[in-house]
Amino acid sequence: MKIRFKKLNENATTPTYGTEFSAGADLYSVEGEIAIAPHTTRLVHTGIAVEIPEGYCGLIFARSGLASKRSLAPANKVGVIDADYRGEVMVALHNHSDLEQTVAPSERIAQLAIVPFLKAEYTEADELSDTVRGVGGFGSTGRN
């Protein structure tokens, strides 16, 4: 699949895959060095816009190393880019640590996965079908 993208800033970096089998393409900061204070969120610009095909969406996930080693991850956990959005891709990067963190120019800040989705039609019902689990919620299966 080919995903068209547009550089909105001449310094923007093309999304790249770390390995042949990577599910997400790395997104890069287009800004100069930025500081993110402890327990705060900063919108980090990528300088690109993407054209996602109908029936697909872009999901923005944390980069595991950045999240586990420096406590920087998308504030909304998973960002969603709809197929009709043509604006700049930005990452709401949250610093979960007690220390200020910096993001270097052209640093990889998140990863973008292009995934298909099913568009559901929601129909109100008086009753729902019964299952073994039923209304059991958090922790109801007995597994940790």
Helices (H), 18-124: 64-70
Question: Residue 124: inside a domain, yes or no?
Answer: no
Token pair listed for 10: 């001449």
Q: Is residue 61 part of a domain?
A: yes
Domain count, the chain: 1
In a domain, 142, yes or no: no
The rounded percent of the chain whose pLDDT value lies above 70 is: 97
CATH code for the domain in which residue 110 is found? 2.70.40.10
Does some domain include residue 28? yes
Q: Kindly state the DSSP code that residue 64 receives in the 8-state scheme.
A: H
- pLDDT by residue (tens digit) across 6-49? 999 999 999 999 999 999 999 999 999 999 999 999 999 999 99
Between residues 50 and 139, the one the model is more confident about: 50
Model confidence pLDDT, tens digit, residues 62-112: 999 999 999 999 999 999 999 999 999 999 999 999 999 999 999 999 999
The chain-wide mean pLDDT, for the chain, equals 95
